[in-house]
Structure 1
């Protein structure tokens, strides 16, 4: 389910804030209900459990990416332009939804519980298929190398982004980034440009 009403969205946003600040285990349904200004019964009615609420939050945050990826693939752009746009789309969405990705990474890495990620994984596979199609288009036109490990391209994109975020105090110091606004601007410009160059270097033939 990815179509949520206004009240469900309020609950999801409240849960996201609290999960990111206090962790899944450190947040109670009562806490979420208080922030969302609803009663506990309403959360149970809409989502059933805290685990199901987390799964709904994941789907809520990533559902729009599928449509954007499909639209991008159909645009009249060169394969290189599509790759650039895809990277911009990835970084912009991840940066907007840092809290949700922080929650997912913690829950998966801690191994405390198994999140039912079937729908999440299906969506990631769909997005990967679109990326594979863009790369295949570039290969057919003689622009991209044939020996590309497409599965690892999103890992390279997101790994670079998350390394930057995990070492934010260091980068703030050496890059003289004073505010969160400075950091976001750097991410959406310099860091994104660096990732584009990295991915295009992986895709291109040796000159």
Structure 2
């Protein structure tokens, strides 16, 4: 498996996309390499040329998506013209957007035993459990130095609050739809409403625990 997603071929990315959708729909154990090959319009031999087994393929899928999230988060954090509130909102919105588009990532992040823990733990822990909190910490530390955020705020806890809330929302979005009486909305409209509610909720919580009154 190649480590740098930027050098993966279009055929490899097509395999990753096909595997991702099948893993989300059926779980790792219920998906065969033959099914992945058919969905990716390639041969089984070709898949085994790229990846040793399904566990390594899962690891590649997670690395692919997590790297995308990481790059977008870095772009948000590295914009000095943005205010603290704008940076945190961008980070939150990115988690929500990726969570809705790629629930496999967030599911694996918080419920690693659901799939293949040995194959996925190293990826999720390295990319999100370490790197993303570093980005959040950069935002918070800078704001603390400017006297805009309480000194006792812990960046790791803030990152966990954001990802945990988004994960819960993604995994239970249909219950949310029913509980809020939003069955009449089509999927795009429902997702927009859901994102607005969660973003507002997280903004209010972060504002109350981080910002001086």
SS at match of 1:121: helix
Say whether residues 1:156 and 2:168 are aligned partners: no
How far apart are residue 65 of structure 1 and its match? 2.1
Alignment of 1:189-204 (within 5 A): 189-204=196-211
Relative to structure 2, which stretch is displaced further, 145-154 or 39-48? 145-154
Which of the numbers 172, 175, 183 marks the counterpart of 1:170? 175
Structure 1 residue 70: Cα displacement: 2.2
Q: Deviations over 1:106-139 (max 9, x none)?
A: 5x13486422533432222122111101000111
Change (3 A) 1:146 1:58: same
Asked if the contact 1:20–1:100 (Cα under 8 Å) also holds between the matched residues in 2, the reply is: no
What is the CA-CA distance between 1:66 and the residue it aligns to? 2.1
For the residues of structure 2 that align with 1:111 and 1:10, how far apart are their CA atoms? Answer: 21
- Residues 23, 103 of structure 1: 8 Å contact kept: no
Unaligned runs of 5+ in 2: none
The equivalent residue for 1:26 is 30
Q: Mind listing any 5+ residue stretches in structure 1 that lack a counterpart?
A: none
Which residue of 178, 188, 198 corresponds with 1:181? 188
> Is the alpha carbon distance of 1:171 and 1:68 closer, same or farther for their aligned partners in structure 2, counting shifts above 3 Å?
closer
Please give the TM-score of this superposition, normalised by the length of structure 1.
Answer: 0.89
CA distance in 1, matches of 2:117, 2:90: 35
Secondary structure of 1:80's aligned partner: helix
Closer/same/farther in 2, CA of residues 96 and 116 from structure 1, 3 Å limit: closer
Q: Is the 8 A contact 1:24 1:103 kept in 2?
A: no
Q: CA deviation at 1:52?
A: 0.7
Answer whether contact 1:128 1:151 (CA < 8 A) is retained: yes
